[in-house]
């Protein structure tokens, strides 16, 4: 198995792969978790479209948007799986800052994509069939969680590397993700 294709692993293989690594793969795990949460939300939209015979005009755009986000998250998962090796290569080539930027960029992007997907799903609440309303809420809650986890990962990287250039570039993104999380409205309870 190679790090570049972790999204092609079975779920069990991915779980075992992550647990055996000499470094924590938080970014890849968060990105894949977000992709799975988006997939659940996308299924809710598609099921609702089929059950209620909703038109392309109503549900087509949200379904396409979350599908695109899901694909981007899968790509980020694969990229993050190889990011530590890329960071080490850049560091050994005297390009430490570029490696640090790489490891900060990915969680920022995963957080932003999680928030974007959750917002699309929240906006789709009125059109979701009652049969999958609870599942949609679980998807939104999971995405709020992946946004929070990605923010923590970015914050951790900035704590480890408090270089001014990184803080100037990524502190606004960190605040943007934090603000986006505040705009989400996952339900606290289903009943």
What is the structure's pLDDT at 2? 43
User: Strand, coil or helix: what is 140?
Assistant: helix
Domains of the chain and CATH, by start: 10-183 (1.20.120.680)
CB-based burial of residue 159 (10 Å sphere; 0-12 exposed, 13-18 middle, 19+ buried)? Answer: exposed
Give the whole-angstrom CA distance, residue 81 versus residue 171. 24
pLDDT at 15: 95
pLDDT score for 59:
82
The chain-wide mean pLDDT, for the chain, equals 93
For the chain, which ranges sit under pLDDT 50? 1-4
Ordered DSSP codes for 36-66? HHHHHHHHHHHHHHHHHT--HHHHHHHHHHH
Using the 8-state DSSP alphabet, how is residue 2 labeled? -
pLDDT for the residue 97: 94
Confidence (pTM): 0.92
pLDDT at 51: 80
Long-range CB contact pairs, 60-65, < 8 A, 24+: 62/120, 62/121, 62/123, 62/124, 65/116, 65/117, 65/120
Residue with tokens 């923010």: 151
């Amino acid at each position: 198995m190679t790090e570049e294709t972790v999204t092609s692993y079975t779920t069990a293989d991915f779980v075992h792969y992550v647990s055996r690594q000499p470094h924590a793969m938080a970014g890849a795990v968060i990105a894949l978790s977000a992709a799975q949460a988006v997939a659940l939300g996308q299924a809710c939209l598609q099921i609702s479209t089929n059950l209620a015979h909703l038109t392309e005009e109503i549900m087509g755009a949200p379904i396409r948007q979350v599908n695109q986000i899901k694909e981007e998250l899968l790509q980020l998962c694969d990229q993050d799986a190889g990011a530590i090796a890329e960071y080490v290569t850049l560091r050994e080539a005297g390009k430490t800052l570029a490696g640090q930027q790489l490891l900060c960029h990915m969680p920022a992007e995963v957080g932003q994509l999680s928030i974007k997907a959750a917002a699309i799903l929240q906006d789709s609440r009125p059109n979701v069939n009652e049969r999958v309303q609870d599942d949609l809420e679980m998807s939104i809650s999971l995405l709020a969680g992946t946004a929070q986890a990605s923010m923590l990962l970015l914050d951790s990287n900035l704590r480890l590397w408090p270089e001014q250039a990184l803080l100037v570039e990524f502190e606004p993104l960190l605040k943007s993700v934090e603000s986006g999380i505040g705009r989400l409205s996952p339900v606290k309870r289903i009943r």
